[in-house]
Amino acid sequence: MQLSTFNRRIRIQHKKSNKTKSTAKIATALATASCSLLGAHSGVYAAEVSADMPTKVANENAWEFDSTVLFYSETDRVSAIEPVISARKEYGEDQFLNLKLVFDSLTGSSPNGATAAAHPQTITTSSGTKDFVTNANETPLDPTFLDTRVAVSASWEQPLTRLTKISFGGNFSNEFDYQSVSANTTISHDFNQRNSTLNYGISFASDTISPVGDVPIPLTVLTTPSEPKSDRGEDSDTRTTVDFLVGVSQVISRRTIMQFNYSLGDSSGYHTDPYKILSVIDDTPGATFGDTVTYRHEGRPEDRRKQSFYWQTKHHFDENIADISYRYYWDDWGIKSHTLDFRYRWKFVESNSYLEPHFRFYSQNAADFYAHSLVNSAPIPEFASADYRLGEFDATTIGIKYGKILSGGHEFSIRAEVISQDGDSSPSDAIGSQQSQDLFPSVEAVLIQASYSFNF
């Protein structure tokens, strides 16, 4: 479920000797800008679950802790809870150790890729060990969905020269059917009186996928529990990913900072979701026209190249901060996406607190091999997937965050968001009884996150 990501924050340094007191104040508020993730995170959950940690100024000889608990729930589908704790300590001038521990648990029902039908459906679970029944006119949801993940990461930051810094680190993530090991390095170089910063990054990840019931052979017919497992291959498969990022951060004025990033990612190996299938539809005119004949495992290409361009601007008013960003993504699977994100932070000086509304709009087209189903009389394609995350859809997020600075520099915040996703529920290529079905049901989700930061 988890994709390899390369998370970085860019710190803009300001030379105090030639800046006014007002500029220093703006620099403190705007000094950190979030880089875009290397890699595409399509779908509601993956696009929204990254922790929104508060940014703090380092306190030498003290550990800084950021703790977060996130709850995410889709209506009648998946629910997730994710505690995260991050620790940071300065060991010397601009030398930092960063540690992070993540634990998440997902339960509920997940769409397996089969389409709704005019009659009840008995479908074998992705592991091939048992069947479940889906009522007529309902989207098949695998009720056995369960996943847990533990991830640990560490990184070290230090200066190389007066104007250049380096950061390097690693990450280990483990699920019962998935394991990932990654390493990353970033270099930041200041110039133009430290009003400009060039950023370079590279990461490498190696993943091992060990699905329950062994690795399905792509586009083979799904076997029932009583049949020989002719649709299964090895017990595991692998994937490697290399991501590159180059960016520039620029102080535009004493109130405005801007950032541009370009990222490139290449991955090779097993990209297929072992738990997704496709319905095969009867296309012969008659009483069963449009009914499901059988089911096949999905199959995706073994290589993927992803690219993205990211722009972000933060502007500091007298007390408030506006933050707007845009991301354009494209890959060689045919997916193109647009993400617009806007936040506005109202600061309440007397209560030392803030309120931050959030709006996000995401839109993507479908992958070249996306299909809501396969036609029984047609040749089996080389690649095909009915995973809605590879389909054409729009997603909107509306939320609000409240934060308060406490004594000792501690901070508490809580945010709540509502997420909605919609696709084409009645595609033009639907046939027979399929035309009366919802082939891309809308998804509604809520997200609640509480964070607490403190020094120790």
Domain at 434, CATH number: 2.40.160
Alpha helix segments (H runs only) across 163-288: none
Domain-embedded: residue 137 = yes
- Rounded to the nearest integer, the mean pLDDT of the chain is 88
Cβ within 8 Å of residue 277, ≥6 positions away: 112, 113, 114, 123, 126, 222, 295, 296, 297, 298, 386
278, with CB counted inside 10 A (0-12, 13-18, 19+), is buried
Distances (CA, A) of 163 to 91, 166, 184, 191, 196: 19, 10, 21, 7, 11
Domain-embedded: residue 136 = yes
pLDDT recorded at residue 60: 56
- Tokens (6 digits) for 2: 């988890």
E-assigned strand segments in 282-335: 292-297, 303-316, 321-331
Kindly state the average pLDDT of the residues 89-101: 94
Task: Give the C-alpha separation, 447 to 443, whole Å.
Answer: 13
Domain-embedded: residue 95 = yes
- Record the pTM: 0.86
Kindly state the average pLDDT of the residues 18-34: 36
Domain-embedded: residue 254 = yes
DSSP string, 332-367: TTS-EEEEEEEEEEEEETTTTEEEEEEEEEEEE---
pLDDT of 11 > 80? The answer is no
Q: For residue 290, what is the enclosing H or E element?
A: none
pLDDT of 120 > 80? The answer is yes
Binned at pLDDT 50, 70 and 90, residue 4 comes out as: very low
Domain-embedded: residue 3 = no
Domain-embedded: residue 239 = yes
Domain-embedded: residue 299 = yes
Residue type, 218: P
Q: What is the number of structural domains in the chain?
A: 1
Q: What is the pLDDT of residues 322-334, one digit of tens each?
A: 999 999 999 999 9
Domain-embedded: residue 1 = no
Q: Domain residues for 19?
A: 9-455
Residue type, 411: E
Q: What is the pLDDT of residues 190-242, one digit of tens each?
A: 999 999 999 999 999 999 999 999 999 999 999 999 999 999 999 999 999 99
